[in-house]
Structure formats: structure tokens, C-alpha cells
Amino acid sequence: MRRVIVNRVLLGAAGVVLLGVGVLVLAGGLDLYRRLGVHPPESWPLTSPDQPVVSARTRGRWVSSTWWWPTVIGGLAVLLVGMVWWLVAQLRRTGLSSIAVPTPGVSGLRLRVGARALEEALETGTAVLPEVERAGVRLVRAPGHPRLRGAVRLTPGGDPAALVEHFEDGPRADACRSLGLPELPADLRIRVLQAAPAEPRHRRTRRRRQSRVE
Amino acid sequence: MSDLRTEAVEGSADGVADGAGSGRLRRLRAPRTVAAALVATAVLVVAGALLYDVIAVRAGQPARRWRAQIVDELATRHLDDLWVLVGAGAAALLGGWLLWLAIAPGLRRWLVLRPYGGTSAAVDRAGIGHLLADRAAALAGIDHLRIRVGRRGVRVSLAGPADPASVQRQLREELDRVGLARPLRLDVRTAGGRRAGGDAGKGPESDGAAAEGPAADAGAGPGVVG
């Protein structure tokens, strides 16, 4: 399952629960129903500011039933296990240690290439592209197929579109060809550095900033 | 090199939605790892403590002080009690924030480039500001320049004798060179209120405030440059 979807659904669920309880208590406590002239349905909870948060009637409603405590314990246990799973999913490393390489025509041979070797080859291949100041590449887990994730810093005036083309036709194509991989999608995060501003302008900027503060 | 390598991963593990066919615009979505870990830990602690105590009570031991106290408070404090109201307000705010985290795409500092082959890319907004500032630095007649890069548009205000229309042409050329998947609006104006024609009228639904707001709150805009 995709982590981003799970995270967002569960975060949304937690948010809805907190928001719902908070708004319900606020509406009752500030007596909004009476002030706004709204008549909530009969079974609506927490309508009067004079009632306790958890009334004795609410507390005693199910406690005497035989199913209550097993249900509470079971529900809490399920919640606990689910939260452990969710937490572990966040802490799991996204990086891969190796990638499977197809071996066509050879049966019984399974070949894996270390991720670090691939990453280093791609890094050096990217770093020598024009206008690249620094480059970092990681091989990461992704649904379906491993992906490449690169962070590239361009020199001032660098051309991001040209970098994408150079990367696609250069290091990535080389890696796919030499490993015989059918696909190895990549995501690049590109930053562009700024040329050092001319000295007099810089001073002027400073002064303007100061005068604005005063 | 190691900082860039970690950056390559931490930016977003699942940041780019895949499965989008060629031609469809990909949308960056932050994975919300930290928020998810925090919420999971909080629920884990509360549910674990509660489960432990419920089982202990079922096994014949007395309830812990904290649980008896909480139950007592909940049973005696009325809804108009100040602490109940403060707690409810805090819960509502926290819930609304979590809901926002769940819905908002995040990763506002990155703008998506046109994909090329199997490579998709995003460039940071400050980087676009740097490119424009460097291009403008080569132009004559600009005394002072301020560039704000929003998520939908770029706002350039300049002081000096330069003609805003020609500055706009040059900057538009630079902006087109970047190759964004969704082109940015470009709005060049001088301090005196003179405004470059043509391109600026491109967006009739001119959301100038929306374009400059994100730059300010995300801190990604280059701010005062030049």
C-alpha cells in the first residue's frame, strides 16, 4: 500500500475525531444550540452546558453488559497493533541496499547489484554534466519498481530543463543499459544557486532593509 | 555529498504521484511522515496505558490514580467549565490542523518541470528567483529589484529608468527556458506603478495576493534581491 495515502487517510481520520469531539463539547459548553435556535435531535449528546462531560448515565449504559469489557480490550488491542504498524511504516528506511538485475537466457541465476555502486555511478555521471555544482542520488523503495531520487544543485544561471534532458539521456540511460533494466524512473529535485550580487547593490539593499526596520 | 544524498530521500519518499500517464500533470504530495509518526506515537501511548489499566482492573487490581482522577474529572466537570472549554478548543484546533495536513498537498517550495522520458523533476521556487535575479542583473537601468516567486506567478517590482516592458520580455524568456509544467504568470511593475503591458494581462483572474502570500509564508521566495 502506498504510504502517502495511508498517512493522509489516517491523519484525516484522527483530525476528524478530534475536531468532532472538540466542536461538540464547545457547542454544548457555549450553549450554541439555544443561542442559535437550533434543535438537535433527541439522541444528540452534550447539548446543555450544565451537564457533565461524561454523565453517570453514559458511563453506566454499557458497563454492566457482558460484552463491554471484552470489546473495549479487543478494540484497544487492535488500535495498539495498528498504531505499531503505522509507526513502523514511518520509521522504515526508504533506501534500498540492492537492486535485482534481470539475467535473460540464464536460468537459476539471480543477480543483484549493490545500490551504493549504482548510486555512486549515477552521482559521478550527474556531477560532470554541464552546469551541475553538486549531485546526490539515492535508490529508493517505491510501489512496483525501485525509483531513483536525485537532488541536484546547479551553478548560477543553470538550465533546469537542459539538466533533465542530459540526466535522462546520460547517466540514467547508461545505468538502464548497463544493468539491462527495462525501467528505472527518476525524480529530480533541482536547485539553482545565485550569482553573488554586485557589491554596491548589496549595500543599497542592506541600507534599505535597515531603514525599513527603523 | 552526503547532505545532498539525504536530501534526495528526505524531500519526499512518496512525494511524486506515480501512475499518472504521460501528458497528465503530476502533483507533488508530501508523505507527512513526521506528523504520522507523532500521531501514531501519541495514540500508541494513550491506548497502551488504557489497555494496561483496563486489563489490570479486570484482573482484580485497583485502578491507577491517573485513570480514576480523569474519570472523576470527566464526571464532575460541566461543559461550561473553563478547562473543558479550553480543552475542547485545543482539540478542535489540533483536529483541524491534522485535517489540513491530510488534505493539503504540501511541498510548496517545489514547482514541477515538464517530464522528459522516465525522469520527472521539480525546481525550487527560490531557484527560479535566482535565475530571474541573475538575468535582471545583466540588464541596464535597474537600480533596485525585488522578485517574489509564488506558486502561480512571479511578481517583479523594480526601481530605475528601465522600461518594464523590455524587462518583462527578458524575464519571460528566462522563465520559459526553465520549462515548468505549469507556466508561471509574470507581473513586472515599477515602483511608480508603471506596469508592463501584454503578458501581465494574461491572467484576468489576477491572484496577485495569492501569488505573493505563499512566497512570504513558505519562506521560499528570494525576498529582496538584486
Please give the full DSSP string across B56-112, using - where no structure is assigned.
Answer: HHHTTPPPPHHHHHHHHHHHHSBTTSHHHHHHHHHHHHHHHHHHHHHHS---TTEEE
Residue B1: which of A77, A123, A165 has the nearest Cβ?
Answer: A123
Which pLDDT score is estimated for B194? 64
Residue B8: which of A2, A59, A150 has the nearest Cβ?
Answer: A150
Asked whether the beta carbons of residue B51 and residue A31 sit closer than 8 angstroms, the reply is no
- Mean pLDDT score across all residues of chain A: 86
A204 touches chain B (CB under 8 A): yes
Asked whether the beta carbons of residue B75 and residue A26 sit closer than 8 angstroms, the reply is no
Q: Are strands B153-159 and B185-190 parallel, antiparallel or unpaired?
A: parallel
* For helices A3-29 and B82-103, angle between their N-to-C axes, nearest 10 degrees: 150
Distance CA B94, CA A22 (A): 9
Q: Are strands A111-114 and A98-101 parallel, antiparallel or unpaired?
A: antiparallel
Which pLDDT score is estimated for A210? 39
Residue B121: which of A157, A187, A209 has the nearest Cβ?
Answer: A187
Kindly indicate the confidence band of residue A196, based on its pLDDT and cuts at 50, 70 and 90. Answer: low
Give tens-digit pLDDT for A140-166.
988 778 999 999 999 998 999 999 999
Distance CA B163, CA B141 (A): 8
> SS3 string of chain A?
CCHHHHHHHHHHHHHHHHHHHHHHHHHHHCCHHHHHCCCCCCCCCCCCCCCECCCHHHHHHHHCCCCHHHHHHHHHHHHHHHHHHHHHHHHCCCECCEEEECCCCCCCCCEEEEHHHHHHHHHHHHHCCCCEEEEEEEEECCCCCCEEEEEEEECCCCCHHHHHHHHHHHHHHHHHHHHCCCCCCEEEEEEECCCCCCHHHHHHHHHHHHHHHC
Average pLDDT across each block of 10 residues of chain B; the chain has 226 residues. List them in order: 55 42 64 94 96 92 90 89 94 97 91 90 93 89 89 90 89 91 90 59 36 35 38
Residue A194: which of B48, B100, B134 has the nearest Cβ?
Answer: B134
CA distance B152 to chain A (A): 18
CA distance A65 to chain B (A): 14
A92 touches chain B (CB under 8 A): no
Which pLDDT score is estimated for B31? 87
Place of cell 533541482: A190
Average pLDDT for A205-210: 42
User: What kind and span of H or E run contains B132?
Assistant: helix B125-137
Asked whether the beta carbons of residue B32 and residue A156 sit closer than 8 angstroms, the reply is no
Which pLDDT score is estimated for A57? 79
The nearest alpha carbon in chain A to B78 belongs to A52
Average pLDDT for A188-213: 59
* A204 vs B212, higher pLDDT: A204
The total of other beta-carbon atoms located within 10 Å of residue A170's CB is 16
The answer to whether the beta carbons of residues A172 and B118 sit under 8 Å apart is: yes
Average pLDDT for A8-28: 95
CA distance B203 to chain A (A): 24
B69 touches chain A (CB under 8 A): no
The answer to whether the beta carbons of residues A141 and A202 sit under 8 Å apart is: no
ipTM: 0.80
Residue B4: which of A134, A144, A197 has the nearest Cβ?
Answer: A134
Rg over alpha carbons for chain A, rounded to the nearest Å, is: 30
Which pLDDT score is estimated for A201? 46
DSSP assignment, residue B180?
B
Asked whether the beta carbons of residue A76 and residue B225 sit closer than 8 angstroms, the reply is no
Residues of chain B in contact with residue A3, where contact means CB-CB under 8 angstroms, are: 13-14, 31, 33
Asked whether the beta carbons of residue B121 and residue A163 sit closer than 8 angstroms, the reply is yes
Residues of chain B in contact with residue A135, where contact means CB-CB under 8 angstroms, are: 4
Sign of CA dihedral A84, A89, A95, A98: positive
> Is residue B122 classed as helix, strand or coil in its secondary structure?
strand
Query: Alpha carbon A29 to chain centroid distance?
Result: 37
Give tens-digit pLDDT for A83-140.
999 999 999 878 888 998 888 888 888 889 999 999 999 999 999 999 999 999 999 9
CA distance B124 to chain A (A): 6
What's at B203, amino acid-wise?
A: G
pTM, 2 dp: 0.76
